[in-house]
Amino acid sequence: MLGDPAYYGRFGFRGDLAAGFESAFAGGHFMVLPLTDGLPATEGRLDYAPAFGNLT
């Protein structure tokens, strides 16, 4: 998820959980929403659909 941490943090999105993932959009606005008590993966590469390519 990309967005304002102050806003999306209210809904459970967490930037610290996204720290292990590589992405063209990694940084302070890159967040993860855990749907269970643990994430199935805590690191790796996340690629967005080609339509997002113009945002970098």
pLDDT tens digits along 3-48: 999 999 999 999 999 999 999 888 999 999 999 888 999 999 998 8
State residue 25's pLDDT score. Answer: 85
- Of residues 17 and 50, the one with the higher pLDDT is 17
| Long-range CB contacts for residues 11-18, cutoff 8 Å, separation at least 24 | 17/42
Give the per-residue pLDDT at 55.
63
In whole angstroms, give the CA distance from residue 56 to residue 40: 27
Q: Do 36 and 17 contact (CB within 8 A), yes or no?
A: no
In whole angstroms, give the CA distance from residue 23 to residue 10: 23
- Interatomic CA distance for residues 48 and 56, integer angstroms: 11
Q: What is the pTM of this model?
A: 0.77
Give me the pLDDT at residue 15, please: 95
Q: Point out which residues pair with 14 in neighbouring strands.
A: 32
pLDDT at 50: 85
